[in-house]
Structure 1
Amino acid sequence: MTPQQPGQIPLRFGANYVPSSGWFYSWLDFSADAARRDFADLAGIGLDHVRVFPIWPWIQPNRTLIRQRGIDDLLALIDVAAEFDLEVSVDLLQGHLSSFDFLPSWVLTWHQRSLFTDAAVRDGIAEYVDRLTRAVATRGNVFAVTLGNEVNNLWPSNPTTLEASSEWAAELVEVARTAAPRLLSLHSLYDGTWYDPGHPFSPADNVDLGDLTTVHSWVFNGVSAIDGPHGPATVSHADYLVELAAATATDPARPVWLQEVGAPRPDIGEHEAPAFVREMLDAVTRNPALWGVTWWCSHDLDRSLADFPDREYDLGLFTVDHEMKPATRELAAVVRERRGSRPAPVSRPALVCDVDLRAQPERRGEVAPGSPFHSEWVRLRQAGPLAIVGAARAADSDYLTARGIGTVLTKA
């Protein structure tokens, strides 16, 4: 599926769906009625889509066994979303969720083998991606599939290289695209791919593979230590990631989906969250590359469940008892203001980045939070929207026009 250019469509607003009862363990005894209550919360604040997470090893517990019951439960959830006019994006390989890894036993213990490099494992994954993608494509309210939630979180226990991880993702994106050409097929990575010089997943893969780019913005990656919770580096971090992605793509019209963003404690205090939501969204929703915003997450995590990092328990828009939070009211207000429209495009300046993230991934630390480049971008960004442009394209007038860039600035 070819996405429309961001400027041609209204901004999208949604939530990453975390069930209010039982977290993702609720897949083990799926309840459509429980999902109905959760989706009523989300539709009630004006959201238009959800991103959902079936658990991979519970659907494919053996390399040659894919459980139809697990697929049927996923389809039932998608149908419940349709009752509330919610469109659905399905993540395939979970993979990694809230500090826990969910991997099937056929890649662990005596079968220990990397899911990125072992040929038999890759064949098994390809079959799973094909089967699940074909199934969800039968539902008209499904618009996208993503290979998995931040699959690069799995690499420490699944050795890989820049070349192998790129080949793995390219192969699976193509499997999904072939299985369901009408759906967006996407690749999702956390921001180590942008900031960590030794990370074995390339920035180029973010912007080359799949039908649009996804970014995940979390201020606990070091940004909040600079000036959180309301400082310019903290509230502009989502916009900074969108700009890095836009500058790294070869296509100046490639959309960027802010697929995860949240207000994590203690970096963003409960009473500080509404203002953070407003300031962060005011910054990022003015970016012409932005496709949409999907909040992490829909519902809190019940504190009766053990061993999660403390910040994971309170990230929801709603409590486990379906109570709306002050930050949620602020998000709902932004959705009402921006629904059906997007800010009018204006010419904006761009700061030249001397680091070629496509060709020089070993230099990623030079654009990480707190680096001289990032600090200069944050300083200049306080005057208004500010693009990023690679040095190689800083004099390309057609490219600059396509991205709405006027003046080109060099770092002082």
Structure 2
Amino acid sequence: MTPQPPGLTTPLRFGANYVPSSGWFYSWLDFSADAARRDFADLAGIGLDHVRVFPIWPWIQPNRTLIRQRGIDDLLALIDVAAEFDLDVSVDLLQGHLSSFDFLPSWVLTWHRRSLFTDAAVRDGIVAYVDRLTRAVATRGNVFAVTLGNEVNNLWPSNATTPEASSAWAAELVEVARKAAPHLLSLHSLYDGSWYEPDHPFHPADNVGIGDLTTVHSWVFNGVSGIDGPLGPATVTHADYLVELAAATSADPARPVWLQEVGAPRPDIGEQDAPAFVRGMLDAVTANPALYGVTWWCSHDLDRGLADFPDREYDLGLFTVDHAIKPATRELAAVVAEQRANRTAPASRPALVCDVDLRTQPERRGEVAPGSPFHREWVRLRQAGPLAIVGAAHAADPTYLLARGIGSVLTPPGDLVCD
């Protein structure tokens, strides 16, 4: 189905990316429904309505022609546990990449090494996997979406690709998922290199053109926090900026944008600053009429007994491994309650005009990256209140501006124009 944009008075979705409190994703190797119940009780207790879950691809499809039913059954059991707590579920299919580790099946590695994105036999295996898993999870009424995988562009350059191959790969697999479960949202997930890096082989056009809505992942360790610190305006509004870039890039002014990942990573956001960051970031982004929902990364901390993760990965949870709630989590819960009680229609906003068309000019991505003159001007103006971004081609189109909730347009000073 094609999703409808959230009406301005429609409650936003709020959820968490589910990281098991015990054993991280290695817990799939000996799945425990009772452990999941304890984790989901935490999340339901703060008012969240959904979880995004991550089955590990090579543990379900260890051979190109073998898909393990036991792995699928464990995933379905997890989804059923979520339903016990009135939590809806979005399922990421290809993991793929998680918390700095890649999980790839042996049939694309060692002497079999071949690219996920360009090898025909690998594509056939992935098609079978996407079709089988999507059909299985679609049997559960609390599943609302499937995503091809978590930030699949992290699997480049270890899997060679080109922009054309990347786009064709995603378009084919989204269509496989749609045919398998027409009632679910079928989505594509990319980290922000696709928005900001001029030579990245995954393009913004894929973000906004493939899948039923746009997903964005906002992480301030991409350089944003270095601009003005943990609570500076560039850092606090980065999620809103990325949602705006996505809305401005889409050919459809009503296409929703899901903030599918956002978190408060250390050391960029210190523990003492995390509650204020959560409040400021959410106050900014929830005013955006394009926003579909917010899914926090992540549900639970990572046990420091597990080795070799980047240090910031250990403390990203809303809850500790012992299920203790954090001050930042209480702030998130307060925002969720406020939004559910009273999401009012945002006032008409101004928009800053940008000459870069990210759909057709991906080589100019650096001109809108964090720290660029355009970004800095947007941040400066954003401090006065909600601020859209509009491409130059639409800046004088009243129908388009109305659809985006834009009441006036602002042209950057000559030395800041994106050209």
TM-score tier, shorter chain, comes to over 0.9
In structure 2, C-alpha distance between the alignment counterparts of 1:342 and 1:172, rounded to whole Å? 35
Distance in 1 separating the partners of 2:271 and 2:355: 38
Match of residue 2 from structure 1? 2
Q: Where do residues 178-197 of structure 1 align in structure 2 (5 Å cutoff)?
A: 178-197=179-198
Alignment of 1:2-401 (within 5 A): 2-7=2-7, 9-339=10-340, 341-401=342-402
Distance 1:400 1:248 in 2: 13
Is the partner of 1:306 in helix, strand or coil? Answer: coil
Equivalent residue pairs, number: 412
Residue 339 of structure 1: CA displacement? Answer: 1.3
Alpha-carbon distance in structure 1 between the residues aligned to 2:28 and 2:354: 45
Relative to the length of structure 2, the TM-score reads 0.98
Tell me the secondary structure at the aligned position of residue 156 of structure 1: coil
Q: Is the 8 A contact 1:12 1:293 kept in 2?
A: yes
CA distance in 2 between counterparts of 1:314 and 1:340 reads: 30
Structure 2 gaps, min length 5: 414-419
CA–CA separation in structure 2 for the residues paired with 1:107 and 1:392:
43
Tell me, in whole angstroms, the C-alpha distance in 2 between the residues paired with 1:244 and 1:98.
25
Q: Name the SS of the counterpart of 2:195 in structure 1.
A: helix
Question: What are the Cα deviations for residues 254-297 of structure 1, in whole angstroms up to 9, with x where unaligned?
Answer: 00000000000000000100000000000000000000000000
The 8 Å contact of residues 232 and 378 in structure 1, kept in 2 or not, is answered as: yes
C-alpha RMSD of matched pairs (Å): 0.7
User: Structure 1: where are the runs of 5+ without partners?
Assistant: none
Shift of 1:7: 1.7
SS of structure 1 residue aligned to 2:401: helix
Deviation at residue 381 of structure 1 after TM alignment: 0.4
Partner of 2:416: none
Q: Deviations over 1:20-79 (max 9, x none)?
A: 000000000000000000000000000000000000000000000000000000000000
The 1:160–1:340 alpha-carbon spacing in structure 2 relative to 1, beyond 3 Å, is farther
Q: Secondary structure at the match of 2:318?
A: coil
Per-residue CA deviation, residues 308-351 of structure 1 (Å, 9 max, x unaligned), is 00000000000000000000000000011111542313110000
Partner amino acid for 1:402?
A: A
**Superposition deviation, residue 3 in structure 1:** 1.0
C-alpha distance in 2, partners of 1:246/1:343? 20
Q: Distance in 2 between matches of 1:215 and 1:328?
A: 21
Distance 2:288 2:370 in 1: 19
Distance (whole Å) between structure 2 residues aligned to residue 341 and residue 106 of structure 1: 51
Given that 1:243 and 1:388 are in contact with CA atoms closer than 8 Å, whether structure 2 keeps it comes out as yes
User: TM-score scaled to structure 1, two decimals?
Assistant: 0.99
Q: Do 1:144 and 1:184's aligned partners in 2 also have CA atoms closer than 8 Å?
A: yes
Query: What SS class does the counterpart of residue 157 from structure 2 fall into?
Result: helix
* Mapped partners of 2:343, 2:162: distance in 1: 39
C-alpha contact (below 8 Å) 1:285/1:343 kept by paired residues: no
Letter in 2 for 1:186: L
Is the partner of 2:73 in helix, strand or coil? helix
Partner Cα separation in structure 2 for residue 115 and residue 2 of structure 1? 28
**What CA distance in whole angstroms lies between the structure 1 residues aligned with 2:412 and 2:60?**
51
